[in-house]
Amino acid sequence: MEKDKLMKAINSKGLSNSLISIYYNIGRALPFRAQRFPDGRDSKWYRSQFVEVYSVKPSGKGGKYGDAYGLYYRNGVREDAWENDPEHSWCKKGDTEPQSVPCAACGSWVLLDILGEPTCEPTKVYGLDDKLEFGKHKGKTLLEVIHSDWKWLKWAISDSEHFFCDIDEVIREREKDIQVLNPSDKLNFGKYKGKTIQEVFTKDPNYLLWLRENSEDFVINFSELYVTTRETKETDA
């Protein structure tokens, strides 16, 4: 399996990844690198740090919890984990043995690289022609589900512990279902049903902005809309 494809599939789970779950999903490969964005908070500080994990000791029901041991890096080099309190850092830059990583079993971890080889089969990453092995669409191909039940698939990609797919393939296929609405196109739903996009934009532009934020089935060609509106104003003048 392509490493990049596997990493993208795992990272699509967002805040749910722990170092323990990453370890299982990459086929128990060691070492690997990961960084944490607590509760999804993103900053240069969090992006500057990562841990290189050398050992994982799962525990608890189903092995979902446990400890991970690794070394700390900042800006690509070994540093004290706590910059302002190096003496009490969980990992010091002079440590040669992997140290217990804080929050190893918590979520919000992002996989950066897989350095070692898997010792068992990594998690299955579905391709478009693969048939689903679980859920209400069991037996259908991923391709079929993309076009028939995007809402369910979107949930499975982000929230199901047992479903991973080729994200790039899925997005390319999903884009085939997204309609581009141009100024002359008419809405077939809502309070402006039967009106053209241009007419709605002239009367209630905030409605189109709301549609853009709340619909996944179409996109509004605002670039063309602005051009058409400007040309209309110039003609009227």
Q: Which two tokens stand for residue 20?
A: 């323990």
Instruction: Specify whether 34 is located in the same domain as 88.
Output: yes
In a domain, residue 119? The reply is: no
Instruction: Specify whether 166 is located in the same domain as 229.
Output: no
Instruction: Specify whether 91 is located in the same domain as 43.
Output: yes
Q: Which two tokens stand for residue 99?
A: 């140290």
Separation between Cα atoms, residue 164 and residue 171, nearest integer Å: 14
| Degrees, nearest 5: CA angle 110-169-11 | 5
Domain count for the chain, please give it.
3
Instruction: Specify whether 141 is located in the same domain as 95.
Output: no
What's the pLDDT score for residue 119?
96
231: three-class secondary structure by DSSP: helix
Q: Report, as ranges of residue numbers, the positions in the chain whose pLDDT lies below 70.
A: 1, 234, 236-237
What's the pLDDT score for residue 1?
61
In a domain, residue 189? The reply is: yes
Q: Which of 91, 114, 137 lies at the terminal end of a domain, its last residue?
A: 114
What's the pLDDT score for residue 236?
65
Q: Which two tokens stand for residue 5?
A: 């494809």
Instruction: Specify whether 68 is located in the same domain as 15.
Output: yes
What's the pLDDT score for residue 187?
92
Instruction: Specify whether 131 is located in the same domain as 44.
Output: no
What's the pLDDT score for residue 114?
98
Instruction: Specify whether 63 is located in the same domain as 164.
Output: no
In a domain, residue 39? The reply is: yes
Residue 228's domain comprises 179-236
Helix, strand, coil abundance in the chain, percent, nearest 5: 40, 20, 40
Q: At what angle do helices 3-11 and 167-174 cross, to 10 degrees?
A: 70
H helix or E strand, kind and range, residue 55: strand 49-59
Instruction: Specify whether 165 is located in the same domain as 185.
Output: no
What's the pLDDT score for residue 60?
87
Instruction: Specify whether 146 is located in the same domain as 105.
Output: no
Output DSSP code: residue 91: S
Q: Which two tokens stand for residue 22?
A: 């990453």
Torsion, Cα of 163, 165, 167, 169 (10° steps): -150
Instruction: Specify whether 104 is located in the same domain as 41.
Output: yes
